[in-house]
Amino acid sequence: MESYRTLRTKLLREERIAFIGEPLRGAQIMGVLETRALDHERIILLGASEGTLPRTGHQQSWIPYSVRKAWNLPMRSDAEAIAAYHFQRMAHHAQHMELVHGTGDGPGCGEPSRLILQWKHELDGASNTRFSSAVHAIPFLKRPSPAIAIQKDAVVLERFSQICKSGLSPSALAMWLRCPLDFYYTRALGVKEADTVDGRLGSDVLGEAVHNALESIYKPYINKVLEPGHLLEAANSVHQKLHDELASSFPEDVLSRGHFRLRMEMAAKAMDRHLRAEALRCKQEETVILALEDELTADLRPDVKIKGRIDRIEMRNGVHYIMDLKTGAVDPSLLRITELERSQFTAKRTQALQLLIYGWMYLRTKPDVSLVRAGILPLQKASEAQGMMVQVAKSQDLERSSIPEMELALGMIIDEIMDKDVPLLHDPESLYCNACLMS
C-alpha cells in the first residue's frame, strides 16, 4: 500500500490540467513564472507557506555541494533567490493581495513564507502598504473507513494452531495485545515491514549492536563474580566495541560523520554510564552472571509451547534475576500490576507480560529455584542500574506458588487467539503496527 501511494502521488504531480478561458476577463489561473510580464491589480496566491514559497528540500544532484560551490554551479540558494525575484515582480503593481497558507501539519502547510514575513517587516508602517490577517477554519467531511474485520475460519485457526505448537514468543503475545489484526498479518501471513532506506541509523540496528557489544563484555565472566574493576575497564573500551559492531555493517566514512556518528556517540555514552553505575551496584551486592542470550522453552499446554530468549540471567545475593536490556524509554508504572489476572494485561502493559512470561518459563525449567525476579535494564537511565522490576501486588518476587495463576492468565490469552467467535480487528490506539493496513 505504501508503494502504491508513493507511485500514485508521483504520477499525479506530473499531470497537467489545461484551463481554457478569456485572457482579458475573469480570473486567470497561472504559475508565478507566468506573471513576470504582467501587472495585476488583485492577486490571490495559494500555497504561500514556508517550504513551498520558496521550495526547500534536498537538491537532487549527484554533484557534491563543495564541488558545485567551487565551480559556481547553480545552488539551492540561487533557486531561492529566483523564487524571491518572481514573487517581488508579481506583487510589484498589485493593489490588493491575498496570500493563503495552511496552518495544519499536512503537506504544504506550516508557517507563512519568509517572503511574507520580509514584506511585513520592511513595509508595514514604513509605507502605504497595510497588512491584515485572518484565520478561516474550513470543515471537511470525513469519509468513514470501514473497519477491517477478519473472521477466523478453519484455515486461520489451523495456522494459529501451528504457531502455538511450534512456539509462541512473549513478543508475539504482546503483539496480540496491541493489535490482533497486526498479529494476523505478521505471524499468520508472514507479512514483513518494508525496508526503508533513509540514510539513518535505525533503532533496531543500533539496539542489536549495543546488545552484541555488551554481550562481548559480560561473556568472559559467566559463572564468575562480577568485579567492579572489570566493569570500569570495560567502560573505557565500550566505544570501540560498539564501533566495531557497527563497522561490520557500515563503512568507516558513514560512521564517522552525520546522523550515524551522533547516534553511535550517544549510545556509547549511555553504555559507559550504565557500566559505571553497575560497577557501583556490584560493590554493594555480589553478582554472578549465570547466562547470556539464553533460550528458554516451556509447555503451557500439550499443544501450546512458549519460547523466548532472555538477555541476561544473574544471581544477586542468592536471588535469581532475569534482566531484559532496553535501549528505549521505559515507564516503571507500566511494570506494576495488582494481581495475576487477564484483565491486567492491556496493550500498555506488554512489557510486564513479557517479564512475567520469562519468570514463568524460568521457574518451570528450574525446579530447584523457589523464586525469581524479572526486570528491565534501561540503558538510558544509569540511575536504574539495579533494574526496573515487574511487581505483582507491590512485590517483586515471582514465587513458584504463583505458577498456576500465571498459567491461567496466559491460557485465557491463548483462548482468545483460538476463539473462532473473536474477530481479528485493528486496535485504533495501536502505535506500533508493522504490517496492519489500518496503521
Q: Which of 389, 293, 288, 286 is nearest to 333 (CA)?
A: 389
At 383-437, the pLDDT tens digits run: 888 899 999 999 999 999 999 999 999 999 999 999 999 888 887 776 666 666 5
Sequence-separated (6 or more) residues with CB below 8 Å from residue 150: 156, 181, 184, 423, 424
Q: What is the pLDDT of residue 273?
A: 93
Amino acid at 258: G
Q: Express as a percent the part of the chain with pLDDT over 90.
A: 44
Average pLDDT (198-217) is: 85
Average pLDDT (216-227) is: 91
pLDDT level of residue 1 (50, 70, 90 thresholds)? low
Burial of 427 by CB count in 10 Å (0-12 exposed, 13-18 middle, 19+ buried)? middle
User: Would strands 42-45 and 96-99 be described as parallel, antiparallel, or unpaired?
Assistant: parallel
Tracing cell 560497577 back to the chain, one arrives at 279
Which domains occur in the chain, in start order?
29-140 (no CATH), 154-425 (3.90.320)
Task: Look at residue 5 and tell me whether its pLDDT is greater than 90.
Answer: no
The dihedral built from the CA positions of residue 71, 77, 83 and 88, taken in this order, carries a sign that is negative
Vertex 390: Cα angle to 386 and 395 (nearest 5): 95
Dig out the grid coordinates for 291 from the structure. Answer: 547466562
Dig out the grid coordinates for 103 from the structure. Answer: 496552518
Sequence-separated (6 or more) residues with CB below 8 Å from residue 352: 334, 335, 336, 337, 344, 345, 390
Q: What is the pLDDT of residue 358?
A: 95
At 320-347, the pLDDT tens digits run: 999 999 887 888 899 999 999 999 998 8
The dihedral built from the CA positions of residue 302, 173, 358 and 169, taken in this order, carries a sign that is positive
Task: Look at residue 190 and tell me whether its pLDDT is greater than 80.
Answer: yes
Burial of 68 by CB count in 10 Å (0-12 exposed, 13-18 middle, 19+ buried)? middle
CA separation, residue 384 to residues 276, 281, 432 (Å): 12, 10, 26
pLDDT level of residue 439 (50, 70, 90 thresholds)? very low
Asked whether 48 and 113 are in contact (CB, 8 A), the reply is: yes
CA 181 – CA 161 distance, rounded (Å): 17
Residue 434, φ and ψ in degrees, nearest 5: -90, -40
Q: What is the pLDDT of residue 438?
A: 43
Residue 354, φ and ψ in degrees, nearest 5: -60, -45
**pTM value?**
0.69
Query: Is the link from the previous residue into 54 a cis peptide, with omega within 30 of 0?
Result: yes
pLDDT level of residue 25 (50, 70, 90 thresholds)? confident
Vertex 337: Cα angle to 336 and 342 (nearest 5): 145
Average pLDDT (347-363) is: 93
pLDDT level of residue 17 (50, 70, 90 thresholds)? confident
Residue 170, φ and ψ in degrees, nearest 5: -60, -35
